């Protein structure tokens, strides 16, 4: 039995060559066989699928190395305290312990890291700012030895009052979470405990409000959601002879990690070599560092490979969460159902460290009105520094919280006007050419009304599906196998929602991806190798890269190299951006390879056939083919012994920062839209909800792999369902301590909680994007939540201004 | 302590096992069988599901010593000796039921067990049988498709 080795889990797609065309020479011309099999638009299967079903795929937590030690992180048991003293002597004296590290052991001048603002200490120094903050590290020969040694580290804390909400953060005399801020947001925020504030002001909301026939106002609360990826934070750091370190880790963005890791290790970036190991889901939660620096520090100190694997309890402290939020909205409309104005204030809790909060604020502010045409807007969004757990990226990224609130408002306003909620949305729906509250013109299809029409037109699931000839099937009822009802008190409700999400990194960020593509002849067959640093986290990027290479280069055999830092940055696997950006980079690199291959062909065979000079040439089925379908040469002959190899960077069109006072600016790259219809059944006596169906319609521009796109939409929908009815990290408001860091107490939907999710995919091309595609991963997470809430409101008649909805919100007076 | 048991038909022995180690830990870290996954180690997620003397268990909740002398079947034992995938394995790949794949080994062992007991399960049966296995990526729709497909292929009602 061979234990897994570092790197063995990296996605490796060696598709067997198909029916090649060896021996074809310019003298033996045949017709081209048409588009190469396995290209874009087909539901080709995952290249790592077989490894994943046999158990051979090596995830980060599976890595193993001869002589390996186990790392362990000692974390703060309190949310806000001065560290009076740290005594590691007993821990160090424990047999089997190789190293115990604290802040004083950090080797370089840089001792902080962070995605944008480097405000996060590698290990706490003088103070802890949130429950679970790392204080010390242990390396030992067994994980239990490490855990027990860590328990012997004596840390004396002097607890400080906790800052937990806007009142305690910005009220008179509030203590500062971070003193002496020097980050580039510090200059414009109204209070040092406000991390970033972004207004979006357009038109004259006050004047518009005077024209409104109906105005609704509401306050909404959005709970703290966890990404709850199943593969815990893990990695293996191996010290190298050159004084550097090789790090195998599950992450979302290798190069962003690298830029944060190298300075605190005191190493140049080329001495920190990173390879992606198998990633068990991410959803934003791996955008920030977890064990990366800690593992490297222990490996460099001990001279031995060190593996760190969080358990689920630690995982809840090991990554940032989705920002909980309070949102105030005022919507007005005329009696013919046209929105007059929107005023909103969105307060996001960023927790103790910055993470990606500034960008989340930018999204909440700029997308806070939703996919509607509103000329007069006054929105502000801000993120607080508090002593709550740090919050950052999660699927939907700032657009999710706002969508929950503005869609509740749209329903209330429709009711106030006596209009059908879908009809009211359609009257105000954005379309191509509409102007965002930021002033940005939506210059690609925006089929908001059509998406709503499609989910509404779908037949409703039959009533009382729990009835069978053998009596009620309780599995189909609220309460399920708890057998709490046989249909008594069960009321059905139907609700609709639609949302808007940006794709790619916004606000002027230089968002690019790098791809290296190589074509050569191996064993007489043309073979393409694609090398990027894209983090495959389960989304299927590796599948799509091979499809793109087949389409562009007409070669069946495509090998996907493991992702590592030997190739340029691919950017983050987030913001629904990887198919657009790294897919775009692979496409562009393939196009460059094709040009060089054709140039080679012209040099070698151009004199044999006039079409080499006159026709549009494509690569199909291992051949060079004219646009008329005439084959000119086999790629194997064109290439001979030569390899064609191209590495290039691909960028989407540039964006601009939002104006700090008005929020005006062409801040986003692309917009993505999805709509949901939820059908729920509520046991109104017990407050139990069963979601029966959650239908989604989404425009994806072009589905490069329809099966994967459906999987993204169904998965995103289910995460939206989770925050609607069950998921919440409960933070004690008095102590700022996390009360439910386990899958026993933090519930995510099981297969019994999850309904049928029919998916209707539109493909309206965005001509700015590769193949017209539109990033697909996030939009369904937005509208699922408000659709479920609307359905529960219809069933119960209750206002329901917070998610998740709990039984006590649905029962009683 | 020393622990000896059968894994996927092969006798295995682990030495120097600390009494607090779980069956999951011994499989993953001592026997080189990391297919069973460590997503929660609290018996909540099902990703470490194995069969112990034929019964489905969360191997994270079984002390390694409890496996002494017993028969353990893991995801690594589902495929045939020659590597041919079992019907549920093949169906999970074909139906798109695998995304990140971390939940997959546990789901496969549970689905394989379901189909052994009930070759033509209803959707309600599938949901009930797999309700102890969390998946965060797929929304379960393709997992249902995969189990239906495996059942239909085994019954011969669709092409394998």
| Chain segment A737-781, per-residue pLDDT in tens | 999 999 999 999 999 999 999 999 999 999 999 999 999 999 999
- At A399 the three-state DSSP class reads helix
Given a cut of 70, is residue A12 above it in pLDDT? no
| Chain segment A271-313, per-residue pLDDT in tens | 999 999 999 999 999 999 999 999 999 999 999 999 999 999 9
CB contacts < 8 Å between A and B, how many?
Answer: 192
- B91, B89, B151: which is closest to B125 by C-alpha? B151
Which band of pLDDT confidence, cut at 50, 70 and 90, is reported for residue A812?
confident
**Cβ <8 Å between A280 and B37:** yes
Cβ atoms of A673 and A447 closer than 8 Å: yes
Provide, as residue numbers in chain A, all residues whose Cβ is less than 8 Å from the Cβ of B37: 59, 61, 230-231, 280
H or E element that contains B41: none
Given a cut of 80, is residue A30 above it in pLDDT? no
State which fold the B87-155 domain adopts: DNA polymerase; domain 1 (1.10.150)
Given a cut of 50, is residue A6 above it in pLDDT? no
Residue of A nearest to B101 (CA): A52
Round the average pLDDT of chain A to a whole number and report it. Answer: 95
Given a cut of 50, is residue B11 above it in pLDDT? yes
| Chain segment A588-623, per-residue pLDDT in tens | 999 999 999 999 999 999 999 999 999 899 999 999
Identify the residue among A65, A280, A477 best suited for mutation to test binding to B, counting B beta carbons within 10 A and taking the highest: A280
**Cβ <8 Å between B42 and A744:** yes
| Chain segment A116-150, per-residue pLDDT in tens | 999 999 999 999 999 999 999 999 999 999 999 99
| Chain segment A310-343, per-residue pLDDT in tens | 999 999 999 999 999 999 999 999 999 999 999 9
DSSP state of A254: H
CA A26 to chain centre: 49
| Chain segment B53-81, per-residue pLDDT in tens | 999 999 999 999 999 999 999 999 999 99
**Cβ <8 Å between A1 and B31:** yes
Q: For chain A, how long is the longest CA-to-CA vector?
A: 88
| Mean pLDDT in residue range A80-92 | 98
* Neighbouring-strand partners of residue A512: A651
Identify the residue among B64, B137, B146 best suited for mutation to test binding to A, counting A beta carbons within 10 A and taking the highest: B137
**Cβ <8 Å between A54 and B89:** yes
**CA atoms A288, A321, B133, B71: torsion sign:** positive
CATH code, residues B3-76: 3.10.20.30
Tokens of B96: 């798109």
Residue of B nearest to A541 (CA): B99
- Prediction pTM value: 0.96
Provide, as residue numbers in chain A, all residues whose Cβ is less than 8 Å from the Cβ of B128: 475, 481, 752
**CA atoms A184, A187, A193, A199: torsion sign:** negative
Which of 361-420 (A) contact B at CB < 8 A? none
Given a cut of 60, is residue A2 above it in pLDDT? no
At residue A34, the pLDDT reads: 55
At residue B157, the pLDDT reads: 87
Cα separation, A676 vs A698, whole angstroms: 9
| Chain segment A435-457, per-residue pLDDT in tens | 999 999 999 999 999 999 999 99
At residue B52, the pLDDT reads: 98
Domains defined for chain A, CATH in brackets: 13-59+512-651 (3.30.365.10), 63-160+230-281+286-318 (3.90.1170.50), 441-504+668-810 (3.30.365.10)
User: How many Cα atoms sit within 13 Å of A363 on the Cβ side?
Assistant: 33
User: From the list A45, A228, A539, which residue is nearest B94 (CB)?
Assistant: A45
Residue extents of the structural domains in chain B? 3-76, 87-155
At residue A13, the pLDDT reads: 40
Given a cut of 50, is residue A727 above it in pLDDT? yes
**Cβ <8 Å between B32 and A4:** yes
Given a cut of 70, is residue A29 above it in pLDDT? no
Which of 287-346 (A) contact B at CB < 8 A? 309, 311-312
- Report how far apart, in Å, the C-alpha atoms of A391 and of each of A312, A324, A684 are: 18, 8, 34
- A440, A429, A432: which is closest to A407 by C-alpha? A429
Which band of pLDDT confidence, cut at 50, 70 and 90, is reported for residue A115?
very high
Residue of A nearest to B139 (CA): A715
Given a cut of 90, is residue B5 above it in pLDDT? yes
Provide, as residue numbers in chain A, all residues whose Cβ is less than 8 Å from the Cβ of B102: 59, 229-231, 280-281
Given a cut of 70, is residue B23 above it in pLDDT? yes
- A409, A61, A502: which is closest to A220 by C-alpha? A409
Which of 526-555 (A) contact B at CB < 8 A? 537-540
* Non-local CB neighbours of A142 within 8 Å, separated by 6+ positions: A70, A96, B18
Given a cut of 80, is residue A24 above it in pLDDT? no
* Non-local CB neighbours of A511 within 8 Å, separated by 6+ positions: A504, A505, A571, A577, A581, A651, A652, A669
User: How many Cα atoms sit within 13 Å of A36 on the Cβ side?
Assistant: 30
Q: Does the CB of A751 have a partner CB in chain B at under 8 Å?
A: yes
**Cβ <8 Å between B99 and A280:** no
**Cβ <8 Å between B100 and A229:** yes
Cα separation, A357 vs A117, whole angstroms: 10
H or E element that contains A553: helix A541-553
* Non-local CB neighbours of A254 within 8 Å, separated by 6+ positions: A274, A276, A533, A535, A563, A564, A565, A569, A570
Q: What percent of chain A has pLDDT over 70?
A: 96
Provide, as residue numbers in chain A, all residues whose Cβ is less than 8 Å from the Cβ of B131: 750-752
User: From the list A311, A537, A751, which residue is nearest B130 (CB)?
Assistant: A751
Residue with tokens 């793109």: A548
- B98, B87, B85, B84: which is closest to B142 by C-alpha? B98
Tokens of A448: 């908001």
């Amino acid at each position: 039995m061979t234990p897994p080795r570092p790197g063995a889990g990296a996605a490796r797609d060696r598709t067997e060559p198909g029916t090649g065309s060896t021996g074809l020479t310019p003298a033996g011309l045949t017709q081209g066989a048409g588009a190469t099999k396995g290209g874009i638009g087909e539901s080709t299967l995952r290249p790592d699928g077989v490894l994943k079903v046999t158990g051979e795929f090596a995830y980060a937590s599976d890595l193993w190395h001869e002589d390996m030690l186990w790392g362990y992180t000692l974390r703060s048991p309190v949310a806000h305290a001065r560290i009076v003293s740290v005594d590691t002597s007993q821990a160090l004296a424990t047999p089997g312990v190789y190293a115990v590290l604290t802040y004083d052991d950090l080797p370089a001048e840089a001792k902080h890291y962070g995605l944008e603002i480097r405000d996060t200490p590698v290990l706490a120094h003088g103070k802890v700012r949130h429950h679970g903050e790392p204080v010390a590290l242990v390396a030992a020969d067994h994980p239990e030895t490490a855990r027990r040694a860590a328990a012997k580290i004596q840390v004396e804390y002097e607890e400080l009052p906790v800052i937990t909400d806007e009142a305690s953060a910005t009220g008179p005399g509030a203590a500062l979470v971070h003193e002496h801020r020097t980050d580039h947001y510090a200059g414009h925020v109204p209070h040092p405990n406000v991390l970033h504030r972004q207004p979006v002001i357009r038109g004259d909301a006050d004047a518009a409000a005077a024209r409104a026939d109906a105005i609704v106002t509401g306050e909404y609360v959005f709970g703290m959601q966890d990404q709850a990826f199943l593969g815990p934070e893990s990695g293996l750091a191996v010290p190298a002879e050159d004084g550097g370190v090789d790090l195998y880790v599950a992450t979302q963005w290798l190069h962003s990690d690298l830029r944060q890791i190298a300075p605190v290790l005191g190493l140049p970036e080329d001495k920190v070599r990173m390879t992606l190991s198998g990633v068990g889901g991410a959803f934003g939660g791996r955008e920030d560092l977890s064990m990366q620096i800690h593992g490297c520090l222990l490996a460099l100190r001990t001279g031995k490979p060190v593996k760190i694997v969080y358990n689920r309890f630690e995982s809840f402290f090991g990554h940032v969460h989705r920002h909980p939020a309070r949102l105030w909205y005022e919507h007005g409309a005329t009696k013919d159902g046209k929105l007059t104005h929107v005023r909103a204030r969105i307060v996001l809790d960023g927790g103790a460290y910055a993470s990606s909060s500034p960008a989340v604020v930018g999204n909440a502010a700029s997308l806070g009105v939703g996919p509607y045409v509103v000329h007069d807007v006054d929105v502000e969004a801000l993120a607080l520094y508090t002593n709550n757990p740090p919050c950052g990226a999660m699927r939907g990224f700032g657009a999710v919280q706002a969508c929950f609130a503005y869609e509740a408002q749209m329903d209330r306003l429709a009711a106030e006007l006596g209009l059908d909620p879908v009809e009211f949305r359609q009257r105000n729906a954005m379309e191509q050419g509409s102007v965002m509250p930021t002033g940005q013109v939506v210059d690609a299809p925006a089929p908001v009304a059509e998406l709503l029409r499609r989910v509404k037109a779908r037949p409703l699931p039959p009533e009382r599906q729990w009835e069978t000839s053998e009596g009620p099937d309780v599995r189909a009822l609220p309460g399920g196998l708890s057998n709490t009802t046989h249909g008594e008190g069960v009321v059905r409700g139907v609700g609709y929602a639609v949302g808007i999400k940006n794709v790619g990194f916004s606000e002027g960020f230089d968002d690019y991806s790098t791809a290296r593509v190589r074509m050569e002849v191996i064993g007489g067959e043309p073979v393409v190798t694609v090398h990027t640093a894209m983090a495959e986290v389960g989304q299927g990027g590796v599948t799509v890269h091979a499809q793109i290479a087949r389409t562009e280069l007409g070669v069946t055999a495509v090998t996907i190299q493991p992702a590592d830092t030997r190739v340029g940055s691919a950017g983050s696997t987030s913001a629904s951006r990887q198919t657009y950006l790294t897919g775009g980079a692979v496409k562009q690199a393939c196009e460059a390879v094709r040009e060089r291959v054709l140039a080679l062909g012209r040099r070698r065979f151009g004199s044999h056939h006039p079409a080499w000079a006159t026709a549009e040439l494509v690569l199909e089925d291992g051949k060079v083919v004219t646009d008329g379908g005439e084959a000119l040469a086999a790629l194997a002959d064109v290439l001979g012994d030569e390899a064609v190899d191209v590495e290039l960077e691909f960028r989407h069109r540039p964006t601009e920062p939002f104006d700090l006072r008005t929020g005006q600016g062409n801040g986003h790259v692309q917009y993505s839209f999805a709509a949901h219809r939820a059908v729920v059944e509520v046991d109104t006596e017990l407050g139990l909800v069963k979601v029966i169906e959650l239908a989604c319609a989404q425009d994806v521009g072009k589905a490069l792999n329809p099966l994967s796109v459906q999987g993204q939409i169904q998965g995103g929908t289910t995460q939206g369902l989770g925050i609607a009815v069950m998921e919440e990290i409960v933070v004690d408001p008095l102590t700022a301590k996390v009360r439910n860091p386990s899958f026993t107490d933090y519930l995510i939907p099981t297969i019994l909680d999850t309904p049928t999710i029919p998916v209707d995919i539109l493909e309206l091309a965005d001509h700015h994007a590769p193949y017209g595609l539109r990033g697909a991963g996030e939009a369904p997470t937005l509208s699922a939540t408000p659709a479920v809430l609307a359905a529960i409101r219809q069933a119960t008649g209750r206002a329901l201004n917070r998610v998740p909805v709990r039984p006590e919100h649905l029962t009683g007076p | 302590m020393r622990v000896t048991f059968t894994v996927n038909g092969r006798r295995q022995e682990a030495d120097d096992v600390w009494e607090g180690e779980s069956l999951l830990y011994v499989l993953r870290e001592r026997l080189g069988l990391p297919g069973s996954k460590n997503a929660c180690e609290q018996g909540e997620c099902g990703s470490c599901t194995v069969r112990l003397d034929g019964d489905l268990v969360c191997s994270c909740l079984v002390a390694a010593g409890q496996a002494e002398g017993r028969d353990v079947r893991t995801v690594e034992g589902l495929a045939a000796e020659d590597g041919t995938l079992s019907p549920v394995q093949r169906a999970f790949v074909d139906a798109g039921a695998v995304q990140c794949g971390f939940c997959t080994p546990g789901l496969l062992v549970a689905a394989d067990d379901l189909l052994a007991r009930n070759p033509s399960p209803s959707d309600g049966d599938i949901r009930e049988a797999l309700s102890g296995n969390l998946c965060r990526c797929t929304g379960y729709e393709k997992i249902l498709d995969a189990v239906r497909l495996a059942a239909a292929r085994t019954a011969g009602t669709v092409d394998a």
